A and B are shown apart, each in its own frame.
Chain A
Amino acid sequence: MDFTFNEDQEMFRDSVRGLLDRECSPETVRSLWETESGRSADLWASLAELGILGMLAPESGGGLDMNEVDMVLPLIETGRAALPGPVVESAAIATATLRDLGGAIAEQWLPRLATGEAIATVGHPGNAFVADAHVADLLLLHDGDALYALTRDHFDCVHQPGNDPSRKLFRVDRKPGTGITCATGTRAGQLAAEAFDRGAFGCAAQLVGVAQQLVDIAVAYAQQREQFGKPIGSFQAIKHMLATVQVKTEFAKPLLYRAANSLAEKRATASADVSQAKAACGEAAAAAAKTSLQVHGAIGYTWECDLQIWMKRAWSLDLAWGSAAWHRARVADAVLDKTTPAESFGFEARV
């Protein structure tokens, strides 16, 4: 029993943080809003160089043969920096799906995804739209009772502008009869379920980073903004709001880390564990967004203020891969609709 991260995992987090501090500043995020794709090939290449894109791929596929526990801290950092791009879809979902599929398709794509030479995204019935389909070289499409691997010429996509200028969402239509069918029936259903859990997990990790950043920028603002002759951060109304969000964020983290462990260990409870994490992380980030805006006051309501970068990301990711309400309903199904005594971590209720 050891619920800590090891030194390597913390060092990996630090290098991701260092890279994103240098290469993914708010100015960079904003400047990408003005480009056609909204994506930076340089940034993607830097992420690949660090190894984050191939963390879940086996060494034979050019990856690091790591798991979700290794990946969770780096993913939090991508949220903290509001990294634009499909790191969750490509690195946390598609890479794992390809690894589990094995065979020619894995051999063909895993090394290219790990090196950043190719980008993957995921279409899933759990989401209305597909993120980053416009830059994807490979689209893993979970549709009906099949999983398809599609390349650029196999699908049409229609951009759906949304609230967060960094999100790029698309309606995707597979061209009839195209693409490779990777799995069907039960196997496809299982892969779709696992993909969904990984998507929710990756999103939850980013939401924790977003929440922390929203608190940090509100604190920084409250320290320097003065009214009535003193910093507004000295008023209890401000302190208590921020403390409340900090409590939510800190208690979302252990749920997230446990979900990472459950995915890595393929525990039977993994789906419910992911749902607990996604609901808690989403609520923490949504509360952080609302509070950070209130602390900023009118300046926070402007386009010019960088607050919107994280606030809009919080709202988007809270709804992606299942909303908090959806995930809590799944927790309710897992816990309440049984006849056996409920079991929680370390604790077994007596009949």
Chain B
Amino acid sequence: MNLDFTPDLQSFRAEARAWLEANVPASPLPSLDTEQGFALHREWERKLNDGRWAMVPWPVEYGGRGANLIEWLVFEEEYYRAGAPGRVNQNGIFLLGPTLMEYGTPEQKARFLPKMASGEEIWAQGWSEPNAGSDMAAIRATARRDGDHFVLNGQKTWASRGAFADWLFGIFRTDPDSQRHRGLTFILVPLDAPGVKVRPIAQLDGETGFAEVFLDDARVHIENQLGDEGGGWKVAMATAGFERGLMLRSPARFQATAARLVELYRKLGGDSDPSLRDAVARAWTNAEAYCLNTYQTASRLITGGSIGSEASLNKIFWSEMDVHMHETALSLLGARAELLRHAPDAGDVGDWLDGFLFSLAGPIYAGTNEIQRNVIAERLLGLPR
């Protein structure tokens, strides 16, 4: 065990910090769930990629730096320290990207990865359907083979980034007689294909962060099939594993929130309810625990370990921690906390309210925390199904 950052890591950190300080927009971009904000975030992705900082953990041949997981954590620490914009293409870079590297053909990798890296193609997720949420194997959207095309029919919903994205990935039933996890195929769908209709859905904050996608005889070339026909569930599970696992939820994001919470407490909390002091200390410790756990997992993976159902532990921990931190912030702010940032008398309430609403999505998306608890109980603890 050595918990010191080596000189190599320190110089990598310094390099990232210097670039970010020179390039991060001076004021925050508009929400990426708005049309204008989406476009500006796409621009930012291009800039990141030009600096070769977009895909730090990707292999050099795909535009990355071949960074190992520890280096990636260091980069993320600097990214959140710099207050850099959210990653509008996170579905692509953190979920589909690694899945493509594992299951894609050389042609698919060459076709999709560079444009993903540059932000030229932004990806939406197409998992859920109206009647397939937690029970993802209940999906009904079909893909019928017609020559060298698939013909897609059905409906996907809660497609994150769907309102403004260029592509969608998801699983479709290619064997009409199949049940549950069998007979599904992972397909990459251009959202401008004929027969594809995207209807944005306003979220709790009124912005269109996700969408419904209607497929009405939409034609997609078979070269967009990822992995084996009928083997889509396995590919999807790999993608979902990345989502719950290490890549998507950087510890630094929560450490940055905890640090802002500490600042808020210092500013407002001096003579307030002692239970708030306790809550801030708890939030701080939670962020530390999540960070240390991630370093522990990263160290294990670097020395040849693997991550499986433990990802469910992570997902529950970060999502509940995030809600708790924002609840604590709202309690500290008191009655002002319900004001939107631009309310005339909002003062410096900041974006805690936005963060609170966003945090509440955490226990729901990427597999509800109830599903994660089932996974932990059955696969880690060995309780019967």
Contact = CB atoms under 8 A, between A and B. Distances in A.
Nearest to B373: A243
Contact of B3 (A3, A236, A279, A328): A3
Q: Provide the main secondary structure of the chain B interface.
A: helix
Interface string A209-247: 000000100010011000000110110101110111011
Given A261-B1, A336-B262, A346-B74, A255 B285 contact: yes
A301 interface: no
B374 interface: yes
Interface stretch (B44-52, B202-210, B357-365, B375-383): B375-383
Contacts of B383: 219, 222-223, 231, 233-234, 238-239, 242
Given A223-B382, A342-B258, A345-B288, A1 B2 contact: yes
B77 interface: yes
B1 A3 contact: yes
Interface stretch (B117-125, B176-184, B289-297): B289-297
Contact of B80 (A234, A244, A347): A347
A1 B9 contact: yes
A239 B379 CA distance: 11
B313 A246 contact: yes
A230 B383 CA distance: 12
Given A4-B299, A346-B77, A243 B258 contact: no
Contact of B291 (A233, A331, A347): A347
Contacts of B316: 243-244, 247
B381 A335 contact: no
B117 to A, nearest CB: 25
Interface in B244-279: 251-252, 255-256, 258-260, 262-263, 265-266, 269, 277-278
Interface string A258-276: 1011000100000000001
Contacts of A247: 313, 316-317, 376
Contacts of A244: 316, 373
Given A1-B5, A5-B1, A234 B252 contact: no
A157 B378 CA distance: 50
Interface in A324-351: 325, 328-329, 331-332, 335-336, 339, 341-342, 344-350
A3 B372 CA distance: 26
Contacts of A233: 377, 383-384
B113 interface: no
A348 to B, nearest CB: 6
A276 B260 CA distance: 19
Contacts of B262: 335-336, 342, 349
A203 B268 CA distance: 35
A149 B266 CA distance: 43
A347 B317 contact: no
A11 B35 CA distance: 57
B81 interface: yes
Nearest to B5: A1
Given A246-B376, A247-B313, A261-B1, A254 B381 contact: no
B149 to A, nearest CB: 43
B81 A250 contact: no
A252 interface: yes
B70 interface: yes
A236 B260 CA distance: 37
Nearest to B260: A349
A237 to B, nearest CB: 11
A234 B262 CA distance: 42
B280 interface: yes
Q: Give the top 8 A-B pairs by smallest Cβ distance, nearest first.
A: A239-B377, A254-B292, A349-B259, A243-B373, A332-B281, A243-B376, A233-B383, A347-B255
Interface of A: 1-6, 69, 215, 219, 222-223, 230-231, 233-234, 236, 238-240, 242-244, 246-247, 250-255, 257-258, 260-261, 265, 276, 279-280, 325, 328-329, 331-332, 335-336, 339, 341-342, 344-350
16 contacts: A1-B2, A219-B382, A222-B383, A234-B383, A234-B384, A234-B385, A246-B313, A254-B292, A255-B288, A280-B285, A325-B278, A335-B262, A344-B284, A344-B288, A345-B3, A348-B77
Given A336-B269, A336-B280, 12 more contacts: A4-B299, A4-B300, A233-B377, A236-B370, A236-B373, A242-B381, A243-B374, A251-B293, A258-B288, A329-B277, A336-B281, A346-B77
